[in-house]
């Protein structure tokens, strides 16, 4: 098992959750990300915008440790992706809450069971997490639907369940890939505000979306990605937000 | 075992039951062949015919019987009557032979006790007869070089045949259990996304498959055992429900005990390898 680099750990302890340096990444023969430099910090929100097929989801895959860079350096919570073993990667993954564009659930389980799965995986008993998960379920607005099997939930409820699951284990880093897809603008903004709230408990939040107007929901670092190249276009301005 | 008897899981469960039944039945059949072979070999080795060459007449037979009473290995000795000879010749030759057609016999049938592999029972009996003043030929079962030893080959073939068949059934169980892992792929993907290691995700699916294999093996083994009992009652002359417990040795139950264990191990291994593959696919895109 490769040891974590002390300098990388120190960077993580200083609040740098993610640092990509000149990263290329892709699938098969296609290279989707080209020379990407990106950073996300604890207690901050980053919005990655860009047109369809620009590389937003691919960037999310790199950040959630599912897609190793072809070149460059990807440092995710102190772990250099190229030098880290499978077991260590799994440990880092447990600190990431991921909301996929099309979230996968255990369809015959209830939403409650799906949401509490990260907690069961770390050995917590139902009596230890039941109240917290109920609170989370109310927080994301699923309510009574939490006790229904996932297959009975609407698209918007599934997305909220995915957000609740991502937040359940109190992750250091929250990645949300197009979290407002299929929602009304009002619902979408509510969801983004909800995700952005997690910065107040010290989590870093990265939201990928085509909708640039989401930047108005909370103070955010705004990045624009186009044809695999990324650039930071705005730093958070607390005063301009509509919280 | 959640939903184990519904939908696809039911089909999978029944496949595992059938494979376990077939493997256990093959094992029981091998045990039956082994016991028949052992019985045949004991019967063959426990029988000999003494042909008295001298003295002639009934004096020779009486002297031989007296010598055989003191001879080693001999459990019982009895002159062969004309009726018995006629019956045996009819049985072996096919054509009806009457006792009146049999000439005066100088044969004694001898029942021999089981001896060690290096014992020469025929030689020892011949020597005992000679010490009693009888010249005789002891005709025992032919040695392996002369056509004997078939039982050993049958036993070996039955054992390895059952083992090979059991392995094939194990492979079938293992492949079928991969289907269970495929049905649980979403669980593996979710676990992977939430930070489960490969062994955690694969272990969970393997545990479920192993439990299903255990239940299927128990059912398949029990069915095979039941079938074996029915066959014994139908095939073995004089077999009855009361006599069966005394006829069955503990080792005969080995295939029934092995069925659930083997099915659990094979199902667990198959599901584990498939789940590990699915985890690897989910963990690394590109």
Report CA dihedral (B2, B5, B9, B15) to the nearest 10 degrees.
Answer: 130
Q: Could you tell me the sign of the dihedral formed by the alpha carbons of B234, B235, B236, B238, in that order?
A: positive
DSSP strands (E only) in B162-269: none
The two three-digit tokens of residue B246, written as one number: 């005394």
Whether a cis peptide bond, with omega within 30° of 0, leads into B162 is no
Q: Name all domains of chain B by residue range, CATH numbers in brackets.
A: 7-40+149-283 (no CATH), 47-140 (3.30.70.100)
Confidence of residue A241 (pLDDT cuts 50, 70, 90): very low
Q: Which residues of B touch A171 (CB under 8 A)?
A: none
- Tokens 């392995």 -> residue: B167
Residue A242: its pLDDT value, please? 46
Structure token pair of residue B134: 């009888």
* ipTM, 2 dp: 0.83
Query: What angle do helix axes B150-183 and B185-193 make, rounded to 10 degrees?
Result: 60
Q: Does A124 touch chain B (CB under 8 A)?
A: no
What's the CA angle centered on A157, arms A155 and A160, to 5 degrees? 115
Q: What is the pLDDT of residues A194-233, one digit of tens each?
A: 889 888 888 999 999 999 889 888 889 999 999 999 999 8
pLDDT in tens, A119-177: 998 889 999 999 999 988 988 888 888 999 999 998 888 888 999 999 998 999 999 99
Write the residue in A25, A93, A105 that is nearest to B195 by C-beta: A93
Q: What is the pLDDT of residues A20-38, one digit of tens each?
A: 999 999 998 899 999 999 9
CA–CA–CA angle B172, B34, B224 (5° rounding): 40
Nearest to B196 among A61, A67, A90 (CB): A90
- Do B195 and A121 count as a contact with CB atoms less than 8 A apart? yes
- Give the integer Cα–Cα distance in Å for B177 and A102: 28
User: Given an 8 Å threshold on Cβ–Cβ distance, is B195 in contact with A92?
Assistant: yes
Point out the residue among A67, A100, A104 whose CB comes nearest to the CB of B286. A67
The H or E element containing residue B213 is helix B198-235
Distances in whole angstroms, Cα of residue A45 to Cα of each of A39, A202, A203, A206: 11, 10, 9, 6
pLDDT tens column, A43-90: 999 999 999 889 999 999 999 999 999 999 999 988 888 888 878 888
Contact between B12 and B179 under an 8 Å Cβ cutoff? The reply is: yes
Do the chains contact at B193 and A89, CB–CB below 8 Å?
A: no
Nearest CA in chain A to B283: A66
Please tell me the distance in Å from B208's CA to the nearest CA on chain A.
15
Residue B147, pLDDT score:
57
Q: Where are the beta strands (DSSP E) in B8-152?
A: 47-54, 74-79, 107-112, 135-140
Q: pLDDT tens per residue, chain B (286 residues)? A: 455 555 668 889 999 999 999 999 999 999 999 999 888 888 888 889 999 998 888 889 999 999 999 889 899 999 999 999 999 889 888 788 888 888 889 999 999 887 776 778 888 999 999 999 999 999 887 766 555 678 888 999 999 999 999 999 999 999 999 999 999 999 999 999 999 999 999 999 999 999 999 999 999 999 999 999 999 999 988 888 888 888 899 999 999 999 999 999 999 999 999 999 999 998 888 6
Least Cα separation, residue B184 to chain A (angstroms) = 9
Mean pLDDT of chain A: 87
Phi, psi of B236, rounded to the nearest 5 degrees: -85, 120
Q: Is A25 on the interface with B (CB under 8 A)?
A: yes
- pLDDT value at position A240? 47
Confidence band (pLDDT; 50, 70, 90) for A117? very high
DSSP string, B78-93: EEPPHHHHHHHHHHHH
Buried b (16+ CB within 10 A) or exposed e, B70-102: ebebbeebebbebebbbeebeeeeeeebeeeeb
pTM confidence score: 0.77
Our CA-based measurement puts residue A137 at a distance from the nearest CA of chain B, in whole angstroms, of 18
pLDDT of residue B270: 97
Distance from CA of B9 to the nearest CA of A (A): 14
Contact status of A171 with chain B (Cβ, < 8 Å): no
Which residue from B minimizes the CA distance to A32? Answer: B286
Do A78 and A12 touch, CB atoms closer than 8 A?
yes
Give every CB contact of residue A50 below 8 A, 6+ residues apart in sequence.
A56, A210, A224, A225, A226
Backbone φ and ψ for A66, nearest 5 degrees, come out as -95, -15
């Amino acid at each position: 098992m490769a040891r974590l680099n002390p300098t990388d750990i120190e960077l993580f302890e200083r609040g740098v959750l993610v640092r990509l340096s000149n990263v290329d990444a892709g699938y098969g023969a296609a290279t989707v990300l080209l020379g990407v430099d990106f950073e996300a910090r604890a207690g901050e929100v980053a919005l990655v915008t860009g047109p369809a097929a620009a590389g937003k989801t691919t960037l999310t895959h790199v950040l959630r440790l599912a897609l190793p860079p072809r070149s460059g350096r990807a440092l995710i919570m102190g772990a250099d992706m190229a030098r880290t073993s499978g077991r260590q990667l799994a440990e880092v993954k447990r600190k990431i809450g991921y909301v996929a564009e099309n979230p996968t659930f255990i369809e015959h389980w209830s939403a409650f069971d799906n949401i509490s799965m990260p907690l069961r995986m770390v050995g917590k008993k139902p009596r230890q997490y039941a109240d917290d998960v109920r609170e989370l379920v109310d927080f994301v607005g699923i309510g009574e639907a939490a006790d229904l099997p996932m297959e009975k939930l609407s698209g918007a409820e599934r997305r909220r369940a995915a957000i609740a699951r991502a937040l359940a284990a109190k992750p250091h880093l929250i990645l949300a890939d197009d979290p407002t897809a299929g929602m009304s603008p009002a619902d979408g903004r509510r969801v983004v505000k909800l995700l952005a709230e997690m910065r107040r408990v010290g989590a870093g939040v990265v939201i990928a979306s085509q909708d640039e107007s989401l930047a108005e929901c909370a103070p955010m670092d705004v990045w624009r990605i186009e044809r695999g190249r990324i650039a930071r276009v705005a730093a958070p301005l607390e005063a301009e937000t509509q919280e | 075992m959640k939903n184990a008897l519904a939908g696809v899981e039911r089909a999978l469960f029944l496949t595992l039951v059938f494979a376990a039944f077939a493997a256990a039945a093959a094992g029981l059949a091998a045990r039956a062949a082994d016991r028949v072979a052992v019985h045949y070999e004991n019967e063959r080795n426990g029988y000999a015919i003494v042909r008295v060459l001298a003295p002639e007449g009934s004096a020779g037979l009486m002297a031989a019987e007296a010598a055989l009473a003191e001879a080693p290995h001999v459990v019982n000795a009895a002159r062969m009557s004309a009726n018995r000879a006629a019956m045996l010749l009819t049985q072996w030759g096919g054509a009806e032979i009457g006792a009146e057609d049999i000439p005066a016999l100088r044969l004694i049938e001898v029942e021999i006790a089981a001896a060690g592999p290096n014992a020469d029972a025929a030689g020892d009996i011949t020597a005992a007869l000679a010490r009693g003043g009888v010249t005789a030929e002891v005709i025992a079962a032919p040695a392996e070089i002369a056509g004997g030893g078939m039982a050993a080959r049958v036993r070996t073939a039955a054992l390895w045949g059952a083992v090979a068949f059991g392995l094939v059934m194990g492979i079938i169980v293992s492949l079928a259990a991969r289907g269970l892992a495929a049905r649980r792929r979403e669980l593996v993907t979710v676990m992977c996304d939430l930070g489960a290691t490969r062994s955690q995700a694969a272990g969970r699916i393997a545990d479920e498959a192993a439990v299903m294999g255990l239940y299927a093996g128990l059912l398949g083994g029990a069915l095979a055992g039941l079938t074996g009992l029915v066959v014994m009652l139908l095939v073995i002359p004089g077999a009855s429900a009361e006599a069966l417990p005394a006829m069955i040795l503990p080792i005969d139950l080995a295939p029934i005990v092995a069925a659930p264990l083997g099915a659990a191990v094979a199902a667990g291994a198959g599901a584990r390898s498939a789940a590990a593959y699915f985890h690897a696919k989910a963990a690394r895109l590109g």
